[in-house]
Amino acid sequence: MEKLILHEAYKRLDKIKHPVIVVIGAYTGNDVIEFAKKYPTGTIHAIEACPVNFKILKDRVVSLKNVVCDNIAISNENGIVDFYYANQKKNNGTSQGNSLYKKFVSQKKWVKEAKVIKIKSLTLDAFYKLHKINYVDFLKINAEGAEYKIFENPEFVKNTNMIYVILHAKQGIFNELLFVKKRKEIYGKLCNMGLGMIKGTVSSSKNKHHPQLWAR
């Protein structure tokens, strides 16, 4: 599904001369590098909350002049928040599945103990203002559960053309009924601000991930 979504996004981005792309949950930079090379006249903002992953990300994109990196979380508040993560030796020490939710990390079978640190958090609207971003052509959100916090302040949607969001179901965050409620709230906000779903999955919380592409 991700390949189909990105293919559709690329078709639309190819028509834009200087696209502005924001990636929340940039991890170690695979998508960021692909965007930067495919759109050399664009600007790619790479956001990664985990300091372990961020260091790898920044080292990998140092030669790409059209990439801007931020080691922060995007959520529903501006300030300092708790962030939970766990390193995996088999993945070169990177942290997968880290989150603003402790249960999201600790419920994973390979995690013995979720580490907690304090990190800076911004709402997405505040992030746009900080970087003087007037309009985003493509926003990718893979925030390991924090997507629900992000959409609590949906003002950024007005200044965004396409949104690729991965909605995480259950995984220690919500039960079935609450997941359905939260999902419908996000759908309503996106629709009310002029976006429609182009591609994606809308099934129940039996699936762990629900990738969706919304666009004007």
Q: What is the pLDDT of residue 182?
A: 85
What are the tens digits of pLDDT across the range 171-202? Answer: 556 666 677 788 889 999 999 999 999 988 76
| Domain 2-69+134-215: which CATH number of 3.40.50.2300, 3.40.50.150, 3.40.50.720, 3.10.450.630 | 3.40.50.150
Q: What is the pLDDT of residue 99?
A: 85
Residues whose CB falls within 8 Å of the CB of residue 181, separated by 6 or more in sequence, listed in order: none
Q: Residue 104's closest CA among 166, 24, 169?
A: 169
What are the tens digits of pLDDT across the range 1-54? Answer: 778 888 999 999 999 999 999 999 999 999 999 999 999 999 999 999 999 899
Side by side, the strands of the sheet bearing 73-74 are 73-74, 115-122, 79-85
Check pLDDT > 70 for residue 170.
no
Q: Which residues lie across from 51 on neighbouring strands?
A: none
Q: What is the pLDDT of residue 24?
A: 98
Q: How confident is the model at residue 70 (pLDDT cuts 50, 70, 90)?
A: very high
Q: Using CA atoms, how far apart are residues 205 and 169, in angstroms rounded to an integer?
A: 5
Q: Residue 215's closest CA among 199, 196, 190, 189?
A: 196
Q: Where are the domains of the chain?
A: 2-69+134-215
What's the predicted TM-score (pTM) here? 0.92
Q: Work out the number of other CB atoms within 10 angstroms of the CB of residue 155.
A: 12
Query: Is 76 in a helix, a strand, or coil?
Result: coil
Residue with the bigger pLDDT between 105 and 150: it is 150
Q: Which H or E run contains 200?
A: strand 196-200
Q: Are 87 and 52 in contact (CB under 8 A)?
A: yes
